Structure 1
Amino acid sequence: MHAFVHRTTRTLALVGAAAAAGLLLSACGTDGGGGTSGSDHSGPSAAAPSTATAAAPGPFNDADVMFAQMMIPHHEQALEMAGLAEGRAQDPEVKQLVTAIEQAQDPEIQKMKAWLKGWGRPESAGDGSGGHGSGGHAMAGMLSDKDMQGLAAVTGRDFDRMFARLMIAHHDGAVAMAEDERRNGRNATAKSLADDVVRTQSAEVTELRKILDRL
């Protein structure tokens, strides 16, 4: 009986010591973990919404942020161009491409906005309102106000030709931005979208060139 009590007391003492050691180690472990250097970031903070974390999990860097901030207004202008096709476009293949652009780029805009929210970054890289005038000149392929007005002023075959020509330049700019993200970005989700942009918009440029040759 005395031996049993002795063994039990010794066991409890060992368990208590192990628990104390575990608490000490965990307290030390909160000090220095996962710091990142340079422009890399470890991702959304613990206080960020879980939906934001799911949107673009993992580390990200400044190239990922810039890609999203620049591609959002770039996509928005493509949607504006597509919107002008309503009542103006005549060619069936142009109309099909307009639908494809709308179906692909609007969801991508929402994804990129979710990334930036989860990363704690603004939607616009500039300090203005974030419209096309805020830094838009720096983005390859972006149309000027004069280009947009010219596109809105034509219909039928003239619209189809101008739309194809302007959208080729616009897509070429998006592909260049996406290729830069593939080279310099860090976030796997952002790089995957960049892959999609390169693949999809390069294929659409090929189609647009064929349409332009035919018109």
Structure 2
Amino acid sequence: MENKIKILLAEDETSLAYITKESLESRNFKVQHCENGEIALQAFKNNKPDLLVLDVMMPKKDGFSLAKEIRNFDDTIPIIFLTAKSQTKDVVEGFSIGGNDYLKKPFSMEELIVRINNLLSRKKVQKNSEKIEIGTYTFDFPKQILKYKNEEEIRLTHREAHLLFNLYNNRNKVLDRTYILEKLWGHDDFFTARSMDVFITKLRKKLKKDESIQILNVRGFGYKLIV
């Protein structure tokens, strides 16, 4: 018997939750719906889903608070936020606490399904990746951890980890900015060159103890990791 991918859907809008659950189940996913963040947290602990779809604005516990708590238990489970909020600061907050994708309401079910499959395929790549030596750092991509020699581990967000992984795979070559926005992260609705530079700056700070490592901004093209 085929094992179905388990999705935890936390959404307080009953009609939207019903349509979403029905659409996903028609694509052979197993969906558990929770009407608020507190119920969703308990369901996550009990049932170990493969992916989370979380509404941001929910009673009792909002989606961002729920994601923060879940990240204390699991660093790698993919999280998609659903929200009517579209301000850049809200999007950045969602990604900074460990979200992997962000879908603005109203959305098409086809788009949601494409993004779910995209994140699941990335997770499969993650599981099969070995630890990487970047200069004097050790990068554990599956666990999203960077370590300098024998010092304390540095935890990366999902996007930081994927960005570093792709920079390393293209080391000493230019990684195109458009590729990062559209292919690696799925879309470029909210991310601009400026916001991308913020992620690059964060990675530079986390790699600064090894002076032989540089991440260059190649103006008009993208970024280059030199090791």
TM-score (normalizing by structure 2):
0.28
Query: Larger strand proportion, structure 1 or 2?
Result: 2
For the pair shown, the structure with the greater C-alpha radius of gyration is 1
Q: TM-score, normalised by structure 1?
A: 0.29
